[in-house]
A and B are shown apart, each in its own frame.
Chain A
C-alpha cells in the first residue's frame, strides 16, 4: 500500500501549484510506473509478447507521464474518500492503455506473426468493434438504459464479498478477458493462477447471481 504523503500535496495540487505536481511525481513515480508496467507486460504477454520488454518499459513510461498529466488536469474531480491518489493515477493511466500500449502491441503483432488473433475484433472488454452507426432514438434509449445498468453494476460491486470484488476489479484493471484476467488476479492478489482462476469463477458467479436477482 502506498504511503499517505500524497494527502499533504492535495490542497496545493488543487490550487494548481506546479511544484506540488513535481513533488508528487518524485514521491510516487516508481509506484505508478511499476503498476502500469505490470499491466502493460500482462497485456503484451496476452498477445504472445510481440514487443520486447525494453519497448514495453518505454511505453509504460509514456503511459505513466500521461497518467500523471491526466490526473493533474482532472484533480478537481478526485475524491479521496473513494481511493488513494496514486491508485487513482494508475486508474487514469489504465484508461490510456488502449491508445498507447495496446496500439503498439497491435502494430507489432500484425507485423510479427501471421495467425495472431485480430486484436481489432477482440480488443478490450467493453469495446464495440462493429462500427455500425446506431439510430439516434435507439441510442437515446440505450444510453438511458445503460445509465441504470451502470448504477446497478456499481451497487453490486460495492455489496459483493471483498475478495470477489477485488478479483473483478483486478480483472477489470487488466482490461482483458480469459487467461490474462487470471494473470492479473494472481499478480494483484498474490495467489497462484489456479487459485486466481477459481476465485474469478466464483466472483463472476456471484456477480451474475446478483445481476439477475430482482
Chain B
C-alpha cells in the first residue's frame, strides 16, 4: 500500500482548535459551585514551623476551607523516596514550599485569605551550596538523614590503562545550571468529588496514570476511587510528569469541601512550584590517541536535587552514563553524587540529564580535537557507534543515524569553507562550533515494563476512535497516532479521533516521558490497526464473496485486487460486521512491550527499543566590546528513525534549538538568600525572536527495526547539542573557553580580559 499520510507534513490534529482559541485547557474549565484555590508558601529556605493560626482566614466571608500540613494525610508520597506530604509539616525545606492552602468563592478572596494566615517560623541554618552538603557540620535538609540522596558508581574496562594509552589527556570542570521548563501553560488542576465520593481530576499532565498513582498515594485512598482526565496541555518539557505538587493540593482541597476546586498557577507561582532541571558540577577527564580515538572517560558529578528527591536520581544516572553509549568506548568510569539542599526540588526536564553531560562531553571533544589538530566532526565519526553494535553499557543499536546527522550539519553550515576563512579581527568576531548527542526512545524502568496499549474502535460509519493513555502535551502524539492509524486503515486523517487520556476509560499507560510514545505507543496503534483491518477485510469477504487476502482498503473503500466491480464502502462493511457479530462493532486491543532489558544493579542492560541521535553546528558572532553573542546560523539534524510527521518533527527540533539557546545564553535562575529572585519572564529571560537565527532543521531517517514504520522518538534529542555547539563556536571566535553556564556577556568580557592579561579564561 502506498503511504499517503505517514511521512506527510500535515498540521497537528489539535491545531485547528488551538489556533481558534477554542482548545479547552484546565484553566478554562468551570463547574457549578466551583471554588478557587490559592497556596501560601514559606518565605525561608529552611525554617521550623512553630505555630500556624488560620482563624482569621477561616472567618473571612467567602472562604470555604483553609488547610495546613496538619490536615493532610500522613502517608508520604514520592517517586522512589517517600518523603513529602501534600503541605509542609514541621518545617519548610525551601523558600516557596507550600505551607497552607485556601479554597474560596473567588480567586481574590482566596488571595486575601492568605494574608490573614499567621505563621510563626524559626529560621534554621540553610544549606544552599551543594558543595557543602556532604560536610559533617552541614545543616540536615531531612532531619536524621545525611544530605546524600544517591550515589552512583559505574566502572567498565580499565580507565587507567586507557589514559596510559592516550596521546592526550584532558580534564576540566563544568558548571551546568538549572532551567525552568517555561511552558506556555502554567500548572492547572480542577478537582471534584461526586456524590459517591469518587474524585475526578482534570489536570495538565504528561501522564494520567502516574498522576492517579501519585494522587492515590498522597491522598491515601484507593487508585480506583480517583479518575484523572487530561485536559489540553500547553507544554510540559518534563515538568508535568510526576513531581509537580499543585494538583495534589487542588485534589486535597476538593476532598475537604466536597465542591469542585480549581487551582491555576500564575507565572510566579509556577516558578515557585515548578520542576527545574538538575544542576550539577561535572568533572571530566578523557584520553585520546592522535587519530582521535577515545581511550578512556572518567566522570565525577555533584548534582543538586533541591529539597526532595523526585526523579533527580534517575536524571543524574542519565548524566553519569548515557553519553558513553554513543561512542565505541571500552574504558569508562562514573562517580556521581546527588545531594539535598534547601532550594527548590529539581528533576525531569527535556533531555533528562542528557544536556548536562552533552555540554561537558562536546566541550571536551572540541578542545581535544583542537589540541590534536583534528576536526571535531572527524572525532565524532571515528568513535561513533554503529547499527548492530552493543555499547559499553549493553545498549544494542538497531539503527544509528549519528554519522548522517554529522554529515548533514557539516554541509549545511558550510563548515569546510567557513573554517578556512581568516579569523575576524574587528569588534565582531565569528566562530563555528558543533556538537552531537544521543537519547533514548523509551526506557524500561517502571515495573520492568515499557509497553503501550491501545484500544481501537471502528464505528459503523467506518471512522476510528483511538483510546490510549499516552498523552499529547503539544508535541504531537495524537497526530502521530492518528496518522499511523489512518494509513493502516486506508481512511482519511479526519476520520480518526484520538480520545483524551482518561484513567476510567483509557488503557493503562506510562505517558509522555523518555521519548517513548512514538516508538511504543505508535507501534501499539500500528498493531491495533492491523488487527482492525483484518476484521474489516474478513467482514468484507463475507459481504463481497471474495477471499479476504484478495481485498484491500483504499480511500475508505474495500475493493478486490482482482475483481474490479467488487467494492464496498467502509460504512457498509462496518455496519455489516455489527449485524453479523451479534451487535459487536469492530473493537480491538493491542499491546506492544518492546524487547528491551532493564538495567541490572550494575547499570547494564538495553533499556530502549531504539536510540536517537542529533548533531548541530552553529555559527556565532561575538561582540568583543559588549560580550554579546549572536547566533548567525544553526543547523540541527535529528535522527528520529522515520518522521511520521515532518512538520511536527521540525517543530520539535526548532523548539529544542531555541530552548538550548536559552539555557546556554539567557536563562539564569537567580537567588537572594535562598529565595528565587527572578520568577517572571521580564527577569528570567527566555529567548525571544530577536535571539533566534534562521534555524535549519533536517531529518535523518535511520529506519529503526523496532519502531513503527521505522520511527523513534523526536522530542528530546535535539535539545542536547545546542549549548555545547554555541560554547565551541565562541571559543572558535574569540579563543575564550566558557565552562560555566549560562554564557553571559559578562563572562565573555571577563574571559577576553583574562586572555589579554595573559591568563587563561
Real complex partners, A and B? no
* Partner-A contacts on B (CB < 8 A): none
